[in-house]
Amino acid sequence: MARDSAETLERLYQAAIELIGEHGYSGTTVDEIVARAGVSKGTVYYHFKSKADLVSALLEDGLQRLARSFVEETKHAQEPQEALRALVHAELAYIQHYQAFSKLVMSEMWRVDRDWQKALRVLREQYVSVFAAVLARGVEAGAFRAGLDTQAAASTVFGMVATGALDWLVFAPERALSDVEPGLTAMVLGAVGAAQTPLLARGAAGGAPHEI
C-alpha cells in the first residue's frame, strides 16, 4: 500500500509540474491534474486539502531531494574546493534531471502571493545552508577569500549555477553536462577564491554585504 501511495503521489506531482509549466498555476485545474495523472479526483482530496496544498507538497518533496543530493555529494570531499565543485555538479545534474520542476521552482521562488511562500523560504534555507557551510569552511581554511559573506555568497552562487543551468537547457540542450560544468565551476571558484575578485564581501566596517 505504501508503494502504491508513493507511486500515486509521484504521478500527481509530475502531472501538476507539467501542467503548471504549460498553463501556469492559475490556469491549471485539479480536474486537469487528475486526468493527466490517470487517477480519480477523490485521490487528490484523500492526500491534499486543495490544489495549493498539492503544489506545496510537491515543492517540499523536490527541494528536500535537492538538499539531500547536496549533502550526499559533499560528505566525502576532503577540501573546500572539492566540496564546492561537487555542489556545482550536483546542482547541474539535478536541474538537468528535473527540468520541469526546476523551472517551476524558479518561477515561484520570488512570488509573494502564494500559500506556500513561508514553507518555500524554509526549504530554501536547507539547500543554501549546505553551500554556506562549504564556503565557511573554505574561508576558515584560507582557501576562499577572507571576509566573504558566506550566507549571501551561498545564495548568489546557487542562483548563478541555477540560471546557468536553465540557460544551457533552454538554449543549448545539445551540449553535454560535462561540457557545461567546467566553465561554471571555474566561475564559481574564481568568484570566491582567495586570489580572485570577491563575489560578495562585507564593507570595511563590517556592514551589509555589497557586490564588487
Residues 103 and 10 in one domain: no
Q: Mean pLDDT throughout 70-97?
A: 95
Q: Whole-prediction pTM value?
A: 0.83
pLDDT at 194: 61
Nearest to 187 by CA among 165, 172, 210: 165
Say yes or no: 71 and 2 in one domain: no
> In this predicted structure, what is the pLDDT of residue 88?
97
The model's confidence at residue 109, banded by pLDDT at 50, 70 and 90, is confident
Q: Do residues 43 and 135 share a domain? A: no
- Residue 52 is assigned to a structural domain of this protein: no
- Shared domain for 159 and 71, answered yes or no, is yes
Q: How far apart are CA 155 and CA 135, in angstroms?
A: 11
Query: Number of folded domains in the chain?
Result: 2
The residue segments making up the domain with residue 16 are: 1-47
Last residue of one domain, picked from the residues 47, 66, 85: 47
* Separation of alpha carbons 198 and 211, rounded Å: 8
